[in-house]
Every structure is written in C-alpha cells, then in structure tokens.
Amino acid sequence: MAKQRIVIDPAVCGGRPIVAGTRMRVSDILDALAAGAGADELLSDFPYLTREDISACLAYGARAVDHSVVQAA
C-alpha cells in the first residue's frame, strides 16, 4: 500500500490537511507554488519534503475543488 502523504489530524495545525510527519500545511505548499516558487525551491527550503509530497499536495488540491455539476431539468 502506498504511503498516505496527506493527513488530517485535529491535534495538528487545527485539523487542516498537512504532509504526513510534518506540520507543513497543504495550503502553504499550494500558496508557494501559486506565487511562483518551484518544486526545487521548496525542496531546498524544506529538506524534509519530497517531490512526491509536493505532487500529493497538488493532487489533493485538485480533488478538493472538483465537484459534480448538477443541472436542474
């Protein structure tokens, strides 16, 4: 089974999604990427992160904004 990279723990960061084993919030990583930081920059600044963690954050964000479109008849 693949390692669960994104977790939610009510006792850590107010229950916001984080990278497992850290206090790095998914939103912080997504905000940094949106502001123009690259993966290499994040990995340099936060050596406990992996490329797979960053990819997991992007996937989590994509799933979080996905929703069904329901049209009334």
What does the pLDDT look like over 16-40, one tens digit per residue?
A: 999 999 999 999 999 999 999 999 9
pLDDT in the model for residue 45: 97
pLDDT in the model for residue 32: 98
Distances in Å between the Cα of 17 and the Cα atoms of 6, 26, 48, 54, 70 are 6, 6, 17, 13, 27
At the topology level, CATH places domain 6-65 in Arc Repressor Mutant, subunit A (1.10.10)
Task: Please give the model's pTM, rounded to 2 decimal places.
Answer: 0.86
All structural domains of the chain with their residue ranges: 6-65
Pairwise CA distance, residues 73 & 70, whole Å:
9
Which pLDDT tens digit goes with each residue over 45-72? 999 999 999 999 999 999 999 887 888 8
